[in-house]
Amino acid sequence: MSPANGTRVSTTRSALSRRRDQLRNDGDGDGDRGSLTAYLLIMSVALIVLAGLVLDGGAALTAHGTAADTAQQAARAGADALDETSLRTNTPAGLTANPAAARAAAARVLDAAGVTGDITVNGATVTVTARATKPTAILAIVGIGQVGGTATATAVPLHGTTTGAP
């Protein structure tokens, strides 16, 4: 290697070193300072929001499912509370629910499930609207302590089976 090539390489290295030192010492090299902090802050907030959607969204779906299941069970229990005189009729189509017994039976189902609701008895038809709530995990941070679901179900008493020949 000739001295000219060795001199040129060392001159290029020293020029790069000077430029690097200049950028470190000047304000020009500080443009990216703190960008990692901002990125981590934004990503942390995004992950907390996603966790809230998953956990608290799941709680809302569970509350709705609980309300639907309980409303159906309570309506069936109410429809099973038949009026004794309707049982003694000659026509099976004349079955009616005893309003007081139907409300009491449906209310027992709602209470056992820890759900609130409204019960309506109209002749043979028992309609129950159930409301269930579940506590939140992440939304509690912003003041939303619980999520809920509402469902309505209707039941009527049936005689015999509902399939086959009349």
- Give the count of beta carbons closer than 10 Å to the beta carbon of residue 137: 14
The reported pLDDT for the residue numbered 156 is 87
The reported pLDDT for the residue numbered 164 is 45
Q: Which residue has the tokens 């470190």?
A: 24
Which DSSP category does 123 fall into?
T
Asked whether residue 5 carries a pLDDT value surpassing 70, the answer given is no
DSSP 64-99: HHHHHHHHHHHHHHHHHSB-HHHHTSS-GGG--B-H
* Mean pLDDT (whole number) for 18-42: 71
Report d(CA 155, CA 116) in Å as an integer: 18
pTM, two decimals, is 0.68
* Mean pLDDT (whole number) for 117-126: 91
Residue 119 — pLDDT band, cuts 50, 70, 90?
A: very high
Q: 72-76, 77-81, 91-95 — which is least confidently predicted?
A: 91-95
Report d(CA 144, CA 138) in Å as an integer: 9
Report d(CA 80, CA 106) in Å as an integer: 10
Q: 59 with 147: CB under 8 angstroms?
A: yes
The reported pLDDT for the residue numbered 166 is 43
Tell me what percent of the residues of the chain surpass a pLDDT of 70: 75
- Joined tokens for residue 137: 């995990």
